[in-house]
Structure 1
Amino acid sequence: QSGTCIHAHTQTDRNGSLCACFTAALPRFFSARLVFSLIFKVTFFVTYVVDTEGTSTSAETEPGSTHLVPTETNIASGDGRPPPPKNRRTSAVWDSFTVCKNDPSKAMCKLCKSKISRGRDPKHYNTTSLHNHLLYLHCMRKPAVSVTSSSTSSNSPGNIPFQDTGDQLGAAKGSPSSTSSPPILTAFAAKQPFSANHPRSKRITDMIGKMICTDLEPFSVVERRGFKSLVAFLEPKYQLPSRHHFSRTVVPELYEAMRGELVQTLKAADGGVINLTTDLWTSNHNAHAYLCMTGHWCEHVGESSVQRKAVLLNVGVLDIEHTANNILCCLKEKMREWKESVGQPFGVKFVVSDNAANMVKALSEFGHIRCMSHTLHLVVIKALEQDRIVASLLSKARSISGYIHRSSKANNRLHELQTQLNLPQHTLITDIKTRWNYTFYMLQRLVEQCRAVQIMTQESNMGRTPTVIYPNEWGLASDMLTLLSPFEEVTRALSKHSASISEVIPLLHGLCSIIRSLHLGDVTEGETLGAAARKLADNLSKELQWRFEPIFANTTLLHATLLDPRYKASCFPNSVDVAAPARITEETPATSSTSVLSFLITEETPATSSTSVLSFLHKKKSATPMRTHLPTGDVEAYLADGDISLSDDPVKYWSGKLQFWPKLTHFALQHLCCPPTSVQSESVFSTTGNVVSPQ
């Protein structure tokens, strides 16, 4: 009876009669629970009747209005949108979907090309499944609806934008005529977290994994409170996985993906040949030893372009005795794995490592090249240790630099004196025993801050040992900077990522010539070296001759220098027999093997008044050697070709000669892409210490 009463009142008078009847009927119910239940039913029924009456009335009052069913025959719009009935509500979901022409019961998503069912009955197609598809897979909330009129173009379906759920609620509250409200399912789904397989969730997880790898962050970063708060603010629906998920799943998957890309890059190596650098390192955190291996080669980009490649191939634990045989077996195993992954044969031409006895013995069957940076380190360290006066000065310098570096009071006093004396606002540099160039930088900074350091040493005794540097010792420090400056220049040049073994002989030739001139007093730069500095120069010259004399007879390095268009044969020492490197004709079938190249360098080493190795090479290059015999073929054409500047890229030069001298170009590129030091392997371990830390 209550249903009949409500229906009667809603049909006759929907303003006041319903409320009066409802108020009179309240005493008939036995509990407040039934009252609230009736209120909900009445409100829902009134809304339903208003909607149905408005729709049916418009349909009945318009003659000729028909209910259009989007089928294969009545899809008139060119964009695949079903033609809306006149004065009927149209969903903006069709901005993202088109009706399938072959199957009108399905709609195709414009975003992911998925086909979504619209229902089975052609007379009752709906857009619910289309809305759910946009909501759950594309994170697009249900769009607002509007009335489409034939006379109003601005209300066409194409102009109905998607709105946020909050915007729909605000529109419903602000407009008294609005009868639409967001479905409960839509509002509930908007607050549900993403599933693990959600596309956006997977994308965010992958980006966090890349951040961990790129920035060398620990896996525990995902458990930090600040990081969690940031992620929750940026995407509240994203559930952050645990650190174990990143260490066991995400990062290994990224590694396999990057390895796959690297395999494709290795297949494009010039001539199927790469060069390696390797190094050993033991961690102080976990007492594990690690073996590192980097690869270097030239890759063809396009038809006439070549570029150098340098990548990290492997970092693995080597917790066995570091004998030559064990190191060799480990390297061969890693190279075998890469060859199997590449799927085509490629070889290793040269391997660069330090001067450790086990490394030298292990790599003897390869084209082994000793790290020039490590060899220079041994030269300088041995020469500095042989002189007692020099050793005493270095001890004082380390004491002063270390004390000021550790003491905040002394550091503040240094800054005060720098301001008073108008000195550069620089801090002192402490020495690192495994890097000789830090000894040079320490002395350089002390000499720069000489006046401030002298005042501080007079004010208080810094450290337990006497730290007063006397005037003659300051003079020795300046002379040491003059002697060590060429070593620092050569070390820096050979440690560049773009450095090549072709630069070894020219740079060492310039270094030896300058040190010899300093020892003999030919290079003064306005001042004469003291007795202690001359003795140090003599020690440096002897160490250079003993350690680098075999370098000037190394055929591999001579070949590389001769094939470098920046140098060719212009920067060889006078004592070097360059007939040996000219036997390229016997190794490359690109040229004739009947003759060799012989040079007679008649000019003496050019005199120089500078300690710059680069300046020496410029002068040396200007002294053109006399050629008495030239081989025919590609080598003759190459040597007759013009030189390039010392600042130019030799790889770029050879990329332009590939079509003229193809075999000679391949031979040259295999030498030029080899680095002269193992610095790139060592630089891996400079950051690995943070990766394997307890954190």
Structure 2
Amino acid sequence: MSAVWSYFRLEGEKSNTAECNVCHASVSRGGSRSDKFNTTNLIKHLQKHHGKEYTEFIEASNAKKKNVSHQQTLLENIQKREKLPPESNKAKLITEKIVEFVVLDDQPLSVVENVGFQRLMEHLEPRYVLPNRQFISAQAVPDKYKQVCKFISECLQSVPSLSLTTDIWSSDVCPLSLLSLTAQWIDSSFTLQKAVLHAKQFHGSHTGESIATALEEMLNVWKIPKSKVHVILRDNASNMIKAMDRLGLASLGCFAHTLQLVVNEGLLAQRNVSDALAIGRKIVGHFKHSPQAYSRLEDIQMELNMPLKRLMQDVRTRWNSTYHMIKSLTEQKRVLCAYSAEYELPATLSTQQWGLLEKVMTTLAPFEELTREVSSSSSSASDVIPIVCVLKRFLSRENEDDEGIKKMKSILLEAVNRRFRDVESEPLYTFATLLDPRYKDRCFTNIEASKQAKALLMVEVMKTEEVLRKTTADSSEPAEGASCSAALEPAKKTPRMDSARHSRLESIFDEMLKENTVESVSQLATTSARFEIQTYLSEPTIQRSDNSLLYWHVNQPRLPTLASTAAKFLCAPTTSVESERLFSTAAIIIDERRSRLTAEKAEMLIFLKKNLPLMLK
């Protein structure tokens, strides 16, 4: 109650006036209804007519406010001293967010013991009791791992067919080897989905038998029958090939690895090219090992008004690093010539060698472009046959700029023909190409191979039609994993390639697709499967920059059997890059700060790092 009532009295609770105890004047309470009453007029009356009483009223009001404020501060302090119980919802939620922070940002488990992190948490929520590293390691991370495992398992249950990739990696900071297994599939909305299934410690010799046994155990853990596995992408090592044969699963070699072998053959084929590359490596190595030399190089770059760029060193195991080294050298040709005029270099390139490197770079540019394309996360096995055809066309064309590198181009062409001679007879490649609306049957160089592929596709589609007929009754029921597909689906479907990009290779692709006209359909369709294939192949191809999965999503009601078959074959990747990306994550997680991680804990962190974002969507 306000202190002003010490100087006024009421005749009744609903009276609209109050009588002053000093002068007995009647003062309005501010309205005719009780919900409008206030003390403003009463305070003004004291201020205007009774100064002494008004001063006493102000002092009394301030004392009351101070007392209330003191009581509130005391209550807040008591509440702050009361810690959140670990089993409370808020404490559990904060702990969960800390685990996500550790996993997604590659933080060591000991981050909860860091002074800066502890001070941050104390400031954000003083009542929260920060768990120690042992709790995060032994309880929080395994709980989150089980939660994500359950989510991925539910998603896999509703998938009729999936593709896998596998590879082996050894750590540089601890004696640990990991065997990877990643899955890739197309969901009911024709969106490509990916998940890491394992990054398991691999003991002993890397024999084909050992690899096959380990992979079979992994499939059993996830309850994935072999009939559900469309194909496994692996490297070209003999032990991997033997392991896949022992498992009885279809497998394909990594296209990027084979492409690298092709380029390596070409680079080593011509002596003058090898000599120019050796000199280039010496020049780059000189600047890599001398900060003073780099400083002088930067001074010359600024004098010539050129951007400050560093030279790139190549790595023998990655051919495209050689391409980027040549590119960085040719871009800095003026700078390097000016540098050699003032300072000493371990070797210099002649005018003829500079021209040779520029021609080599022009020849390797399509290989580098295609390597980036097939290494993208959305690349499909359907790209292999068209890419091989385009490479053959590109390398077989002679022009005036080939002077000096003709032998290298001929070796590259011979290597492409030899290493990819069977791609048009491999059903996994041919089916994927036929079912990609960007290519269809327009990219085959062998007419007989094209006819045989279409005949085999007819058999495959009829099998799919039979399966769909048997499951029609169940298809009306919602699938158990339908919710997870919606959760995994990206917010927006985007084309795989930039439609504005139109390189020299793109013109060869366009040329190839235009000149291969569609055969007239002379045979009448006798089944719905045959009708769908004839209808699909007789229609024009879509733009290469368009999204083939979006095409099938739109045309699924019109071509249901063919769409289901496409979902099976287009889920296969072109390379084993997904496993390599997984190992890049492993190298970040298993570093000097966490070199004592157990294999089991390392696999949990890798698994969560790659799969947790899927669940968070």
Deviations along 1:422-448, whole A, 9 cap, x unmatched? 323221111122221111011001000
Match for 1:232: what amino acid?
E
Q: 1:620 aligns with which of 509, 512, 518?
A: 512
Count of aligned residue pairs for this structure pair = 506
Counterpart contact for 1:398–1:431, Cα < 8 Å: yes
Instruction: Quote the residue 1:376 is aligned against.
Output: 259
Instruction: Quote the residue 2:536 is aligned against.
Output: 638
Cα offset for 1:297?
0.6
Greater RCO between the two (CA within 8 Å, min separation 6)?
Answer: 2
Counterpart contact for 1:339–1:345, Cα < 8 Å: no
Instruction: Quote the residue 1:4 is aligned against.
Output: none
How has the CA–CA distance of structure 1 residues 630 and 298 changed in structure 2, closer, same or farther, with 3 Å as cutoff? farther
Instruction: Quote the residue 1:558 is aligned against.
Output: 430
Q: 1:285 aligns with which of 170, 173, 182?
A: 173
Deviations along 1:323-348, whole A, 9 cap, x unmatched? 111111111111111117xxx99710
Counterpart contact for 1:500–1:673, Cα < 8 Å: yes
User: CA–CA distance in 2 between the matches of 1:345 and 1:371?
Assistant: 21
CA RMSD, aligned part only?
3.0
Instruction: Kindly indicate whether residue 569 of structure 2 is the aligned counterpart of residue 680 of structure 1.
Output: no
Instruction: Kindly indicate whether residue 233 of structure 2 is the aligned counterpart of residue 349 of structure 1.
Output: no
Instruction: Quote the residue 2:139 is aligned against.
Output: 249
Which structure is larger by alpha-carbon Rg, 1 or 2? 1
Cα offset for 1:657?
2.5
User: CA–CA distance in 2 between the matches of 1:238 and 1:177?
Assistant: 34
Instruction: Kindly indicate whether residue 198 of structure 2 is the aligned counterpart of residue 314 of structure 1.
Output: yes
Cα offset for 1:389?
2.3
What secondary structure sits across from 1:580 in the alignment?
A: helix
Cα offset for 1:629?
4.9
Match for 1:354: what amino acid?
D
Deviations along 1:59-115, whole A, 9 cap, x unmatched? x999899xxxxxxxxxxxxxxxxxxxxxxxxxxxxxxxxxxxxxxxxxxxxxxxxxx
User: CA–CA distance in 2 between the matches of 1:284 and 1:624?
Assistant: 51
User: CA–CA distance in 1 between the matches of 2:579 and 2:259?
Assistant: 17
Instruction: Quote the residue 2:126 is aligned against.
Output: 236
Q: 2:210 aligns with which of 326, 342, 347?
A: 326
Cα offset for 1:510?
0.2
User: CA–CA distance in 1 between the matches of 2:462 and 2:354?
Assistant: 60
Cα offset for 1:620?
1.1
Instruction: Kindly indicate whether residue 243 of structure 2 is the aligned counterpart of residue 362 of structure 1.
Output: yes
User: CA–CA distance in 2 between the matches of 1:321 and 1:512?
Assistant: 39
Match for 2:358: what amino acid?
S
More displaced stretch, 362-371 vs 172-181: 172-181
Match for 2:195: what amino acid?
V
Which aligned pairs between 1:118-137 and structure 2 lie closer than 5 A?
A: none
More displaced stretch, 240-249 vs 306-315: 240-249
How has the CA–CA distance of structure 1 residues 252 and 457 changed in structure 2, closer, same or farther, with 3 Å as cutoff? farther
User: CA–CA distance in 2 between the matches of 1:326 and 1:345?
Assistant: 18
How has the CA–CA distance of structure 1 residues 547 and 627 changed in structure 2, closer, same or farther, with 3 Å as cutoff? same
Counterpart contact for 1:515–1:540, Cα < 8 Å: yes
How has the CA–CA distance of structure 1 residues 460 and 287 changed in structure 2, closer, same or farther, with 3 Å as cutoff? farther
User: CA–CA distance in 1 between the matches of 2:340 and 2:384?
Assistant: 43
Cα offset for 1:630?
5.2
Instruction: Kindly indicate whether residue 499 of structure 2 is the aligned counterpart of residue 499 of structure 1.
Output: no
Match for 2:223: what amino acid?
K
User: CA–CA distance in 1 between the matches of 2:307 and 2:155?
Assistant: 47
What secondary structure sits across from 2:542 in the alignment?
A: coil
What is the TM-score of this pair, normalised by structure 2? 0.76
More displaced stretch, 439-448 vs 362-371: 362-371
Q: 1:588 aligns with which of 450, 461, 482?
A: 461
Deviations along 1:525-562, whole A, 9 cap, x unmatched? xx43233x111112211211111111222122111111
What secondary structure sits across from 1:474 in the alignment?
A: helix
Counterpart contact for 2:465–2:561, Cα < 8 Å: no
Instruction: Kindly indicate whether residue 182 of structure 2 is the aligned counterpart of residue 294 of structure 1.
Output: yes
Q: 2:409 aligns with which of 507, 512, 537?
A: 537
Instruction: Kindly indicate whether residue 543 of structure 2 is the aligned counterpart of residue 663 of structure 1.
Output: no
Instruction: Kindly indicate whether residue 280 of structure 2 is the aligned counterpart of residue 388 of structure 1.
Output: no
Instruction: Quote the residue 1:182 is aligned against.
Output: 71
Instruction: Quote the residue 2:596 is aligned against.
Output: none
How has the CA–CA distance of structure 1 residues 197 and 477 changed in structure 2, closer, same or farther, with 3 Å as cutoff? same
Deviations along 1:296-353, whole A, 9 cap, x unmatched? 11111xxxx321111111111102211111111111111111117xxx9971011111
Which aligned pairs between 1:64-143 and structure 2 lie closer than 5 A?
A: none
Counterpart contact for 1:232–1:238, Cα < 8 Å: yes
User: CA–CA distance in 1 between the matches of 2:126 and 2:465?
Assistant: 72
Counterpart contact for 1:371–1:676, Cα < 8 Å: yes
Counterpart contact for 2:184–2:193, Cα < 8 Å: yes
Deviations along 1:447-503, whole A, 9 cap, x unmatched? 0001111222343344xxx42111111111001011101111111111111111111
Cα offset for 1:376?
0.5
What secondary structure sits across from 2:64 in the alignment?
A: coil
Instruction: Kindly indicate whether residue 88 of structure 2 is the aligned counterpart of residue 198 of structure 1.
Output: yes
User: CA–CA distance in 2 between the matches of 1:406 and 1:664?
Assistant: 58
Counterpart contact for 1:500–1:674, Cα < 8 Å: yes
Cα offset for 1:237?
2.7
User: CA–CA distance in 1 between the matches of 2:36 and 2:218?
Assistant: 72
Instruction: Quote the residue 2:223 is aligned against.
Output: 339
Instruction: Quote the residue 2:353 is aligned against.
Output: 473
Cα offset for 1:173?
10
Instruction: Quote the residue 2:440 is aligned against.
Output: 568
How has the CA–CA distance of structure 1 residues 627 and 231 changed in structure 2, closer, same or farther, with 3 Å as cutoff? same
User: CA–CA distance in 1 between the matches of 2:377 and 2:290?
Assistant: 37
User: CA–CA distance in 1 between the matches of 2:190 and 2:59?
Assistant: 65
User: CA–CA distance in 2 between the matches of 1:554 and 1:64?
Assistant: 97
User: CA–CA distance in 1 between the matches of 2:253 and 2:522?
Assistant: 32
What secondary structure sits across from 1:177 in the alignment?
A: helix
User: CA–CA distance in 1 between the matches of 2:267 and 2:171?
Assistant: 29
Counterpart contact for 1:590–1:663, Cα < 8 Å: no
Counterpart contact for 1:585–1:591, Cα < 8 Å: no
What secondary structure sits across from 2:444 in the alignment?
A: coil
Counterpart contact for 2:518–2:538, Cα < 8 Å: no
What secondary structure sits across from 1:227 in the alignment?
A: helix
Match for 2:508: what amino acid?
F
Cα offset for 1:565?
0.9
How has the CA–CA distance of structure 1 residues 286 and 152 changed in structure 2, closer, same or farther, with 3 Å as cutoff? farther
How has the CA–CA distance of structure 1 residues 592 and 332 changed in structure 2, closer, same or farther, with 3 Å as cutoff? closer
Counterpart contact for 1:502–1:560, Cα < 8 Å: yes
State the 4+ residue runs in structure 1 displaced beyond 4 angstroms: 60-65, 152-155, 171-174, 178-181, 183-186, 590-593, 628-631
More displaced stretch, 248-257 vs 434-443: 248-257
Tell me, which stretches of 5 or more residues in structure 2 are unaligned? Answer: 15-32, 40-57, 467-501, 526-530, 594-617
